[in-house]
Structure 1
Amino acid sequence: MSIGVQRRIRQCDKCPWKVSTDPHDIPHGYTETLHHALARTIAEPGSLHDAGHVMACHEHPPGDEADCVGWLMNQLGPGNNIPLRLKVRSCENIDAVTLDGPQHERFVDTLPKTRKEPAD
């Protein structure tokens, strides 16, 4: 988490937190195994314990990571990540961060149980 300035302020097109995204269509090496590993970035709602992990945006390569906007806003909102809320108090541009459309409220919902079939 960037404390002074949030690098990404707009949610990317294929963010898994968007209800409209099928995570199987996420580019840049998406796998279900990697997706499941992201569960470690989710704080227990209302807990004062810091999960210690941040979900990075898949559009940024390793070494140039940026926070996933969908994850960030989920953890600040419905996820009730209190340690993260305290960290962003010093973030200069947190008010500029915007979401794009309806969002999943829980991490478990970001990975559909079955792959969507293309429409005929």
Structure 2
Amino acid sequence: MPWKLKRVRQCEKCPWKVSTDPNEIPNGYSRELHEALVSTIADPGSIAGTGRSFACHESPPGEEAHCVGWLMNQIGPGNNIPLRIHVMDCENLNAVVLDGPQHERFEDTIPAANFENDEDS
């Protein structure tokens, strides 16, 4: 039986969207929790996945759904090979809708990382 995504639309305040200020994420923003999500990011092209996923902040506790921005990053520019294999039989992956330009790297989703990158220019 094919696997099916719980969410196919990126939420309004997804941190993977370039236009999102994570400080405006509903229910409070925690830089510490955000930085800990690095454990969900695979080394690009590695066959060793993390075995962890990045849940959408809009998911109710106990009913967590993946973050659409994270998912598309990891099967796209993040090149998470185990996740790519996992979603090969996903029946609704082609229904995923992203909302605008996306960050290429996890580090860019963290507000200070964006500021530091701007200073390096």
What TM-score do you get using the length of structure 2 for normalisation? 0.89
Structure with greater helix share of residues: 2
Whole-angstrom distance in 1 between the partners of 2:4 and 2:78 = 21
Q: How many residues align?
A: 114
CA deviation string 1:61-80 (max 9, x = no partner): 22101010000000010000
User: How much has 1:114 moved relative to structure 2?
Assistant: 7.8
For 1:39, the equivalent position in structure 2 comes to: 38
For 2:85, the equivalent position in structure 1 comes to: 86
**Aligned-residue RMSD, C-alpha:** 1.7
Q: SS at 2:33's partner residue?
A: helix
Q: Which runs of 5+ in 1 are unaligned?
A: none
Superposition pairs of residues 77-116 of structure 1, within 5 angstroms: 77-113=76-112
CA deviation string 1:26-81 (max 9, x = no partner): 11242001000100000000000010110000001221010100000000100000
Whole-angstrom distance in 2 between the partners of 1:10 and 1:112 = 23
| Percent pairwise identity | 64
For 2:55, the equivalent position in structure 1 comes to: 56
User: How much has 1:115 moved relative to structure 2?
Assistant: 9.5
Judge which range, 25-34 or 98-107, deviates more. 25-34
CA gap 1:31/1:88 in 2 versus in 1, 3 angstroms:
same
Q: SS at 1:113's partner residue?
A: helix
Q: Which runs of 5+ in 2 are unaligned?
A: 116-121
